[in-house]
Amino acid sequence: MLLERKKVCYNKSGDMMKKVIGVGLVIFCLIGTYFLIKPKNEKMPDMETDNSVNNNQASNEIDRKLNSLTLEEKIGQMLIVAYSSTFMDDNLKNVLTTNKPGGFILFKDNITNYEKTVKFIEEIKATSDIPMFISIDQEGGKVQRITKLSDADVSIIPPMLDIGQKKDTTLAYDIGSLIAQELQAFGINMNFAPVIDVVENSSNIIGNRSFGNDPTLVSDLGISLANGLIDNGVIPVFKHFPGHGSTIADSHYDLPVITKTKEELINYDLIPFKTAIEKGAKIIMIGHLAVPSITNDQTPASLSKVLITDLLKKEMGYEGIVVTDALNMGALTKNYSEKEIYEMAINAGVDLLLMPKSSTSAITFIKQSISEGKITEKQIDESVKKILTLKEEYLKDISLNKEAIGSLEHKKIIERVY
């Protein structure tokens, strides 16, 4: 060993050569390893390319469908209509086939028993080549349209405040799943819930429809319930932006006014909406609420570009669909003409018009506003593309399971609230 060490010490040039060879071998091995691994890694870019191709194909299909529609049909896609009947009569059939609305909303007077309601919904859907939003207000508590059937025992959903007092996100998710499964049993695919207004006091018009007065709790439970809905095939609609929690007036009759500053709203009422946006909310409902501290006037949020485009979309980063609260409510009809309502709502950034006075007059007035240069067809196209994209993603054929209605499993979920 000592002799060998001496030889190494005296042969510096040989030592240097060995180092060079050693480094060369390391580089060779690294290059060889790279080429051995490279074919496996190349699959990732290929997969990404495939996804990009699929997304482009889907987008191209949506564009093709959009371009195939007449202006009247595009406007029709922006309408969700209501009709007081339990069956498809000639008048309703004519309205649906002529005006081709994008959706229909059900109320208690549309619902008698299970079989008849399912038939009614199927006949509504059959009038359109484009899948329709079949919507309802099934919040729970005092706002649920399906409470009694002559041939099925429907689950009665507790008020959201009762769920809020449990502070249990799993329970909220299960309630959302329960609601969705029972709605899907009828073929309903959209629910105007959850309410994510943060209620400050018991005199507020929203009352026990809200999860409570803690913005973080309302956010957590609202998102959980919404996830329960969407995971079971029903699109949730978050409402009522920018927050009904401090108002006393009922927008069905008068215009509620929010007296808070923008900063106060951001730090309280808007927290659940911001969270919903961050979690990927697909649809947000705009309330008929005046916020003079932001708009400098009494314009309802549902007709305000400042609140919808500037605040909700630009500042808060929302890219989904905006739907109005019902357009037949006194907060609007007492102060604006029918044409003004449609024109202002679309210019404000609204995509879906809920319950216009008449789908026929809505199409006529909106076309007139376009011809007058007060609305552009580009605005219509942008809204309809979002609507068609959401329908393509979420409106799938479903099997109707009557056994889900009032099931023992659902009863057990409700028992956990009390």
Angle between helices 215-230 and 271-278 (to 10 degrees): 40
SS (H, E, C) 314-366: HHCCCCCEEEECCCCCHHHHCCCCHHHHHHHHHHHCCCEEECCCCHHHHHHHH
Q: What pLDDT shows up at residue 22? A: 54
Check whether the bond before 194 is cis (ω within 30° of 0): yes
Give the DSSP H or E segment for 284: strand 283-286
Q: Which of 137, 325, 351, 410 is catalytic?
A: 325
Which CATH fold topology does 71-415 show? Answer: TIM Barrel (3.20.20)
Exposure letters 240-277 (e unless 16+ CB within 10 A, then b):
bbbbbbbbebebeeebbbbebeeeebbebbbbbbbbbb
Q: Are 393 and 386 in contact (CB under 8 A)?
A: no
| Radius of gyration, alpha carbons of the chain | 28
pLDDT tens readout for residues 48-72: 344 555 677 778 899 999 999 999 9
Catalytic residue among 252, 297, 397, 410: 252
CA 146 – CA 247 distance, rounded (Å): 27
How confident is the model at residue 249, as a pLDDT?
78
Extract the tokens encoding 375: 């609305």
From first to last of its 418 residues, what are the pLDDT tens digits of the chain? Answer: 333 333 333 344 444 444 444 545 444 444 444 433 333 333 333 333 445 556 777 788 999 999 999 999 999 999 999 999 999 999 999 999 999 999 999 999 999 999 999 999 999 999 999 999 999 999 999 999 999 999 999 999 999 999 999 999 999 999 999 999 999 999 999 999 999 999 987 678 899 999 999 999 999 999 999 999 999 999 999 999 999 988 877 788 889 999 999 999 999 999 999 999 999 999 999 999 999 999 999 999 999 999 999 999 999 999 999 999 999 999 999 999 999 999 999 999 999 999 999 999 999 999 999 999 999 999 999 999 999 999 999 998 888 999 999 999 999 999 999 9
By CB neighbour count within 10 A (0-12 exposed, 13-18 middle, 19+ buried), where does 328 fall? middle
240 is catalytic: no
Contact 53, 46 (CB under 8 A): no
Which tokens sit at 210? Answer: 């809200």
Q: Which helix H or strand E contains 239, and what residues bound it?
A: strand 238-241
What is the pTM assigned to this prediction?
0.86
Tokens of residue 263, six digits: 């900063």
Tell me the per-residue pLDDT of 349-367, one tens digit each, with 9 for 90 and over.
Answer: 999 999 999 999 999 999 9
Q: Is 252 a catalytic residue?
A: yes
